[in-house]
Structure 1
Amino acid sequence: MRIAITGSTGLIGRALVRSLRADGHEVVRLVRRPAKAGDEVEWDPNRQYVDVAGLVGCDGVVHLAGAGVGDHRWTESYKKEIRDSRVLGTAAIAEAVASLAEPPRVLICGSAVGYYGNAGDRVLDESSPPGDGFLPGVCVEWEEAAAAAQEAGVRTVFARTGLVVAREGGAWGRMFPLFKAGLGGRLGDGRQYWSFIALHDEIAALRHILDTESLSGPVNLTAPNPVTNAEVTAAMGRVLHRPTLFTAPESALRVVLGELAADVLGSQRALPAQLLESGFSFAFPTVDEAIRAALR
């Protein structure tokens, strides 16, 4: 297959490129500068520009690009960057795909379980409604921005990813050093659910979606056993053999993180109903297994 990928330098993008190439597939990387290598195609999400010629002959497009939600404090300007990087970028990719005489068979657009907002201990699947607040609003607009591809008849999937368990990046990548140093602990009261997924299973799920014609619309990319933050803390202590005595009070998190604290303390108990119904099998379905896999 010939697969085009945005966000190929991010945690998930790098791993997906490696996986596809290891199995002999051709990967085209969309880059936000003039293309230099033979596998690069220029695009600019802010200008909603894509060098469409570079997508000719692609069997699928995986759109993962977007500003990191937890990379900076949420000022108004950074919130605009979070939204625009997703909404404008998705619209550009969807319109480019729709303009092709022979469009790819599938477009996978990154999304997030943040779509569901703070849902407490309510069990969520892909039919659950969006929550309230900044991130759910962004996720709704993010998914709606792919309308051009859907209207052109392209099978379009919204990969609502949970917290990816990996050492080399993302939220979990920042947690590992703290817990290894014995400085890890609960965030707030620890009762909020964290829907996680091992990086290995994230990549396997994306490849499963590429190959599975029955999957379209929202698909939760989360392990089938979501756990609370307190349970994550205990699991990190067990696997790393470190104490987990520290607690970050909600009030302190709100002072340090500002509006972002609401997302850190939010609860999404999301289940991967669509993946399981389509026959996908998780290699690391529990949090202990996912943590051990990341350490390997």
Structure 2
Amino acid sequence: MTQQQKILITGGTGLIGSALIMALRDRYAITVTTRQPQQAERRFGAGVLCVPELPSLEDYLAVINLQGESIAGKRWSAQQKHRLQQSRWNITSALAEAIQNCETPPKVLISGSAIGYYGAQDATEMTENTQVNYPDDFAQQLCAEWEHRARAAASERTRVCIVRTGVVLAKEGSALQKMLPPYLLGLGGPLGSGEQYFSWIHLEDMVRALTFLLEQESCEGVYNATAPEPVTQEVFSRSIAKTLRKSHFMRVPAWVLKLALGEMAQVLLTGQRVVPARLQDAGFTFNYPTADAALRDCLLPPSSD
């Protein structure tokens, strides 16, 4: 029996990581770093090795780095900003250094980032070739440094793919579920003006994109992990209401979001119009290219057909 190739996944207990492990576990030998290995083993089963610290990366096929504290979990106090930075930057630097020190390094590092890299861009379409630098934009600088540290792993033997992820939509446990309560009460509506763009991706396509980058040896560099048809907040909000067959007439004023969330509200009120140009150029196709299709899958019961 052929021995399975080894993959290390950091951040494997999160929404994306958990779904990715379930998709890959039958084809690869998965190692997951986690602060609670016994709990993770019960979750994933005996076939997934769960460890509290980074193992030696010798002879690993790949490293997929998804670790990082939720950017929307708490208000951005100075202390919280520091935690967000360290939870992303430290592990990425440690992985890059470990890869560089290997005699037989992994063939690929796939490292997370986010579309917050692009900053506030109004309706301007963002592709991977767009270069930005906003020293006063916390999310942009967070992502820029995160990506810089990942690139340190690149060599003739290790390709690096950086994945700028949009808002991930899933049947449960995603940002979508946090949006739903007002709609279920018939009080749904857009955030702020509603004119800002909302770039998203279905969890299934997110996992498929990561698998694609893992297995396509010609892929390296930056990739936007967003569906090919971003929409405005207004359109996305109306699509939620239509899918749930609920009314859509309320609006959350910008000042309410700023009062509740502080600086973090800017992420919701500005947005980015991001398209996955390089993924599509590489031959990747989306199962859920439109918001309507993604929301029907996430919010409605499966068809009995």
Q: The TM-score by the shorter chain falls in which range?
A: over 0.9
> Per-residue deviation at 1:126?
0.2
Match of 1:134 among 134, 138, 162: 138
Cα distance change, pair 232–139 in 1 and its aligned pair in 2 (3 A): same
Cα distance change, pair 111–182 in 1 and its aligned pair in 2 (3 A): same
Question: Any stretches of 5+ residues in structure 1 without a counterpart?
Answer: 44-49
Alignment map for 1:22-61 (pairs within 5 Å): 23-32=26-35, 39-43=49-53, 50-52=54-56, 55-61=57-63
For 1:147 and 1:287, locate their aligned partners in 2 and report how far apart those are by CA, in whole Å.
32
Letter in 2 for 1:28: T
For 1:131 and 1:40, locate their aligned partners in 2 and report how far apart those are by CA, in whole Å.
38
Q: Which residue of 1 aligns with 2:152?
A: 148
Q: Give the conservation status (yes or no) of the 8 Å contact 1:119–1:131.
A: no
For 2:132 and 2:297, locate their aligned partners in 1 and report how far apart those are by CA, in whole Å.
31
Question: Any stretches of 5+ residues in structure 2 without a counterpart?
Answer: 42-47
How much identity, in percent, do the aligned residues show?
39
Larger deviation, residues 96-105 vs 186-195: 96-105
> Per-residue deviation at 1:96?
1.6
Q: Give the conservation status (yes or no) of the 8 Å contact 2:171–2:297.
A: no
> Per-residue deviation at 1:146?
1.6
> Per-residue deviation at 1:235?
0.4
Alignment map for 1:7-86 (pairs within 5 Å): 7-21=11-25, 23-32=26-35, 39-43=49-53, 50-52=54-56, 55-86=57-88
Q: Secondary structure at the match of 2:13?
A: coil
Match of 2:111 among 109, 112, 132: 109
Letter in 2 for 1:42: P
Q: Which residue of 2 aligns with 1:46?
A: none
For 1:99 and 1:41, locate their aligned partners in 2 and report how far apart those are by CA, in whole Å.
20
Alignment map for 1:225-244 (pairs within 5 Å): 225-244=229-248
For 2:245 and 2:111, locate their aligned partners in 1 and report how far apart those are by CA, in whole Å.
38
Deviation per CA, 1:90-132, whole angstroms, max 9, x where unpaired?
Answer: 1011112222211111100000011000101001100101252
Q: Give the conservation status (yes or no) of the 8 Å contact 1:164–1:170.
A: yes
Q: Secondary structure at the match of 1:283?
A: coil
Q: Give the conservation status (yes or no) of the 8 Å contact 1:199–1:294.
A: no
> Per-residue deviation at 1:3?
1.4
Letter in 1 for 2:29: E
Q: Which has the higher strand share?
A: 1
> Per-residue deviation at 1:68?
0.3
Deviation per CA, 1:154-184, whole angstroms, max 9, x where unpaired?
Answer: 1001100001111322322211343223232
Q: Which residue of 1 aligns with 2:183?
A: 179
For 2:176 and 2:37, locate their aligned partners in 1 and report how far apart those are by CA, in whole Å.
33
> Per-residue deviation at 1:267?
2.0
